[in-house]
Amino acid sequence: MITNIIMNILFIILGLVGGSFASALSYRALNDISISKGRSFCPKCKETLDWKDLIPVFSWLKNKGKCSHCKNEISPRYPIIELATAFIFVTIYHAYDSFFAALFFCIVATLLVALTACDLEKKLLPIQITYLILPFAFIAKLFSGDGIFSAILLGLICHYGAKGMKILHKKLRSKDALGEGDIHFLGVAGFTITIELLPVFLVASGSLGILTGLLWKRIYNEEEFPFGPAMIVSLLLCIILHGSI
């Protein structure tokens, strides 16, 4: 009982920190800034932030959603991403018997959250973040007892299957169905999930993609919409189901 409470608190804290990292990673990836280049800074005045301004959620609330230096408003994307990531971390922890499998899948989830932010904001899935998932998914699969050869094979099938679908759609309808970032992501997703969960991933991605497209058109009046979030939510669902089954 006490151990379970402590572990829940641990994964909540790790999730908040992971969400803070995902926010910084997505911002820097979209603005072509290296994640290793200097400390965090205000996106408005560019002043370096103190440690007390970097406490996930609480710093944003304490400063009333404003920069402590320039007093400009800081987007609520930051606490939203941090809280969402904390929820995902705790859910993954409860899905897996292996602590280390859960931990490394949580790292994968952090990168997926960063990709979601990138795609929603700029309709872009940065390849460098996408492929960063692979080593952590590899370690997580070792701890969860998955076969690595079958994972590599499924990743290749998903990647080249998506590429073939893009070429075919282009020939038939003279426009792209998938972006290059989507194709690379599908390959990584194929490696991360298992063959048993592939139908779940495909059906969920398609269904959520249709829903996203309808909402995007209604809100922004645009035909082109980011497909990444639909695939990412579906992949997270498969990661959780994999541990629960």
Average pLDDT, the chain: 92
User: Is residue 64's pLDDT more than 90?
Assistant: no
pLDDT in tens, 188-201: 999 999 999 999 99
65 and 130 together in one domain: no
Per residue in 45-56, pLDDT tens?
Answer: 878 878 787 888
Could you tell me the pLDDT band of residue 244, with boundaries at 50, 70 and 90? confident
Q: Is the pTM of this model over 0.85?
A: yes
Residues 66 and 146 in one domain: no
Query: Where a domain ends, among 58, 78, 95?
Result: 95
Same domain, 110 and 220: yes
**Are residues 170 and 87 both part of a single domain?**
no
> How many structural domains comprise the chain?
2
Do 86 and 132 belong together in one domain?
Answer: no
Same domain, 123 and 222: yes
Q: Which residues of 165-186 are buried (b: 16+ CB within 10 A; e: fewer)?
A: ebeeeeeeeeeeebbebbbbbb
| Residue 77 and residue 118 in one domain | no
Can you give the residue range of the structural domain that contains 244?
Answer: 102-245
Whether the per-residue pLDDT at 245 is higher than 90: the answer is no
Q: Alpha-carbon distance 188 to 235, whole Å?
A: 10
- State which of 44, 61, 95 marks the end of a domain: 95
CA 109 to mean position of chain CA atoms: 5
Could you tell me if 167 and 55 lie in one domain?
no
User: Any idea which of 52-56, 203-207, 214-218 has the lowest mean pLDDT?
Assistant: 52-56
pLDDT-above-90 percentage for the chain: 69
Would you say residue 104 has pLDDT above 90?
A: yes
Question: Do 181 and 213 fall within a single domain?
Answer: yes
Please name the amino acid found at residue 89: F
Same domain, 79 and 133: no
**Quick one: 35 and 116 in the same domain?**
no
> pLDDT band at 39, cuts 50/70/90?
confident
Residue pair 218/179 in contact by the 8 Å Cβ criterion:
no
The per-residue pLDDT for 75 is: 86
